[in-house]
Amino acid sequence: MTNTTHFGFKQVATEDKVKLVRGVFDSVAGQYDIMNDLMSMGIHRIWKRVAVQLSNVRKGDQVLDLAGGTGDLTTLFEKRVGKEGQIVLADINSEMLRTGRDRLIDRGLVGNIRYAQVNAECLPFEDNTFDCVCIAFGLRNVTDKDAALRSMYRVLKPGGRVIVLEFSHPVDKITETVYDFYSFKLLPKIGKIVAKDEDSYRYLAESIRMHPKQDDLKKMMENAGLERCEYFNMTQGIVAVHRGYKI
């Protein structure tokens, strides 16, 4: 019997999800930053700054930026770790990783940034390597989220932090109603016009609805071994930052 998982609202064979997600991000990589600004009216930049602030990353730290895409979080982390620290910008998608690398080089950010094409479920790093592991707007695309959280925990140093920045679930009915209308009626049309890809942005809306709710993700992080887990809602719960520690 074939194991299945969700790809948006569809059920697909588990082994096919990585390929399907790769197709989405291959398609949108070139317009990814422009779409982020349009979709969130620029607010995604505030969400990312809050996540980096909550990471408590300091000078000299080693940081893994998972699903790092076009490098927004890496750019913010680089300012904090300084030349004494290091960031690994990692993504499962080669097109996103290439776009991120090119943009960081164009910004003059070289020397303390490495690049790695990895699957979050089985990270190819030694135990106890990083002071912080951050995954922003990527966990919902992972096939086995529990395996990914365990893998993040393994590569984290004692005292280190896992930061999960992700679209989440609105905390009140009015926000939920408006958000549903925007997500399913307007967002795919914006994707069609700007990125020439309506289906990928319909998948985005569906994948957000299939992502665990705030308390459920907190429990998943605890089950992976993380302690002192907590979350911080932003924009009425449309986005949340989860934080957990390896003690």
Is 6 domain-assigned?
no
Residues annotated within the binding site for S-adenosyl-L-methionine are 70, 91, 119-120
Report the CATH number at residue 86.
3.40.50.150
Query: Is residue 189, in this structure, part of any structural domain at all?
Result: no
In a domain, 110, yes or no: yes
pLDDT for residue 1 is more than 60:
no
Q: What is the pLDDT of residues 176-203, one digit of tens each?
A: 999 999 989 888 888 888 778 788 888 8
**pLDDT-based confidence at 2, cuts 50/70/90?**
low
Residue 9 covered by a domain: no
Q: Which residues are annotated as a binding site?
A: 70, 91, 119-120
Please tell me the number of Cα atoms within 13 Å of 102 on its side-chain side. Answer: 8
Rounded (10°) angle between helices 145-155 and 214-223? 50
Query: 132-143, pLDDT tens digit by residue?
Result: 999 999 999 999
| 23, part of any domain | yes
pLDDT band at 32 (very low <50, low <70, confident <90, very high): low
| Residue 219 is assigned to a structural domain of this protein | yes
- Any domain includes 2: no
d(CA 16, CA 143): 10
Q: What is the domain extent for residue 43?
A: 19-172+201-245
**pLDDT at site 29:** 59
Burial 88-97 (b: 16+ CB within 10 A, else e): bbbbbbebbb
Please give the tally of structural domains in the chain: 1
Residue 120 lies in a domain: yes
The amino acid occupying position 84 is E
